[in-house]
Amino acid sequence: MRPSPRFSLAVHAAKRLAALPIAIAPSRPLFIIGCARSGTSVLKRLLGAHPDIDAYPSEANELWHPTSYPWAPSEHRTPPLWQAPAEFTADSLAHWPTAHGERIRRVFGWHQRLRRRPVFLGKSSMINFMLMDVARLFPDARFIHIVRDGRAVAFSYAEKEHRKLLAAPAVYRAAGAWYDKDALIRHMGGLWQATLAEIDRTGAALGWTAAGHRHVCRYEDLCSDPAGTLAELLAFIGVARPAPAPAEAVRDMNHKFRERVSPALLRELTEALAPTLAVHGYDSQSA
């Protein structure tokens, strides 16, 4: 879904105002995190429809990774994030311009001020391996971690990225980031596990659970009971007014991986992901 012109104008204005030497930061910052293709975008749209929540309309990856995003036309100092997330993220942070963290704070702060909403909401699937830095920039931030069945994530993520590989094969081959479709699905399954482990590690180090700074929800629960899931999330955020009725159907798309992944690969993927699937309440059967 493309941002509305009004939202685009707010982003443009916020970036211009951020150039002013005025200290400003978002109040009650909230970030949606989780592996890509886990439902982060639909969750942001649903929460962003609430009149008390200012949802930044893009993932702001040009702010989080100013010299590394988008990857294909960048300098390719590292493989893409999906292939080597820790290496990509460390390199991206090392090449932030001077005082860039303050610029991010000002852009988000101005955007919220222009939209006049008490809660700021950002989401990016490209910040999962830099959450320590996000927490330092926004010490009062809260995080919603949305989790989806790793087999569905692996299939969907591979579908998306494989199209990029086919569009620029020479670029990906030169970077050692070329995979056939099945190999990419296997790799994305491992990335799903690594991402959840990294978020858990950071959350434990920062004491998110004890401080009430992290709420975990599942994509499948959002699809089956959007009203109930949103009510839980608004209680976590501390927003009193109820959420408006969803303007879009929240459809569970997990059927795709069962229909389109070969039985042999599905069994292999299920076995590899079984421990993490079980932790998050997923049936570890391949059927």
CATH number of the domain residue 56 falls in: 3.40.50.300
**This prediction's pTM:** 0.94
> Residue 284 domain-assigned?
no
Going by C-alpha positions, the residue among 155, 157, 174, 148 that lies closest to residue 40 is 148
Quick check: is 139 in a domain? Answer: yes
* Non-local CB neighbours of 143 within 8 Å, separated by 6+ positions: 30, 31, 32, 33, 131, 203, 208, 213, 214, 215
Looking at residue 146, what DSSP letter applies? Answer: E
The one-digit pLDDT tens for each residue of the chain (287 residues) are 444 544 589 999 999 999 999 999 999 999 999 999 999 999 999 999 999 999 999 999 999 999 999 999 998 899 999 999 999 999 999 999 999 999 999 999 999 999 999 999 999 999 999 999 999 999 999 999 999 999 999 999 999 999 999 999 999 999 999 999 999 999 999 999 999 999 999 999 999 988 999 999 999 999 999 999 999 999 999 998 887 777 677 899 999 999 999 999 999 999 999 999 999 999 876 44
Tell me, yes or no, whether 286 lies in a domain: no
Whether residue 285 lies inside any domain: the answer is: no
Q: In total, how many domains does the chain have?
A: 1
Domain range for 90 is: 5-279
Cα→Cα distances 133→39, 92, 102, 128, 267, Å: 23, 12, 12, 10, 37
Residue 242 lies in a domain: yes
